Amino acid sequence: MSKETTASICPHCHGSGFRRVEGKEGVARCDCKRENLAGRLLSDARVPRRYASCSLDNYVPPPSEENPYLSLALIKANAYVNNYLARSTPKGLLFQGPPGLGKTHLAVGILYRLIERQSVSCFFCNLAGELQRIRDSMSSERSLNLPRLVYDAEVLLLDDFGIQRWSSWVQDQISNIISNRYDNGRATLITTNLSDKASDDRQSVRAEAMKKLGIMDHKGNIDNFALDRYERIGIHFSAPREEPETLEDQVGERLRSRLYEMCDVVRMLGDDYRKAQNQRRQRLDL
């Protein structure tokens, strides 16, 4: 037997997976088995290397009086882990806000903690990348499918949700994933840059166009019959698919409603978190 093989055998259970308990009859499962399982689950989760150091412990938001949104997001992330470990729940979290606020950092931190504390099966999925990989394979002899853990993982993270180039095929794939996980009671974490409310500039442009066409009066009341008449001839006043601004613009009302039923929303607003983190590191280096 080589030195490497000998060193890899647990000194407590000698490779059996069970150890004797001092002062008691019988045996108990050895901690080495749990450590090996956590290692396999971490590998299976396929978290990209750039997020390898993300944890709930090293997410440092500004003081709550400066930005209550990011402080509350961290509180909700920690509470989610504690509630999940107390009683597994199919409810997920939807981290929503502009880029740079640490949405993925918090979501990955949840995955790591669930794996480490209770060996929960988790999977990180950049859906846009996975769908593009499948599309690229369609012209080859061997077509690819989405990884099974997209459906089967106890907790799935869909990162950068909504940035996909939209088509009926993409919509079908996303609907299948969401419906499958919903029907099987599996939790889904989502990060998205798309908001629930269009920007003031976009809203004002739409309102002005609707007023000119007699769809909206000066008080902001909408004539739904006139609106329906224009939409029937192809004139719409929501953002086009190729330029979505809200989550509903991108995924449609039905799927948006399902996502909100599956997930509690964590809204994140404020200055760029990554930039602030880099500035803190620079000050510490001085």
Give the span between the Cα atoms of 245 and 263, in whole angstroms: 20
How far apart (Å, rounded) are the C-alpha atoms in residues 244 and 132? 19
**pLDDT given for residue 7 in this prediction:** 40
User: Tell me, what's the pLDDT at 6?
Assistant: 38
pLDDT for residue 281: 63
Give the start-to-end residue ranges of the domains of the chain.
1-33, 46-197+247-285, 199-238
* Phi, psi for 64 (deg, rounded to 5): -60, -30
Class of domain 46-197+247-285: alpha beta
Q: What is the 3-state secondary structure (H, E, C) of 164-228?
A: CCCCHHHHHHHHHHHHHHHHCCCEEEEEECCECCCCHHHHHHHHHHHHHCCCECCCCCECHHHHH
Residue 90 confidence (pLDDT): 79
What average pLDDT values come out for the chain (286 residues) when binned by 10 residues? 43 56 61 68 93 95 85 96 85 92 96 93 91 78 82 94 76 88 93 74 68 82 81 61 66 84 91 67 60
Residue 122: predicted pLDDT? 96
- Give the pLDDT of residue 84: 92
Q: CB count, 10 Å around CB of 149?
A: 17
Residue 37: predicted pLDDT: 76
Give pLDDT, residue 2: 39
2-29 b/e (C-beta count within 10 Å ≥ 16 → b): eeeeeeeebeebeeeeebeeeeeeeeee
Q: 162 by DSSP, 3-state: which?
A: coil
Per-residue confidence (pLDDT) for residue 241, from 0 to 100: 47
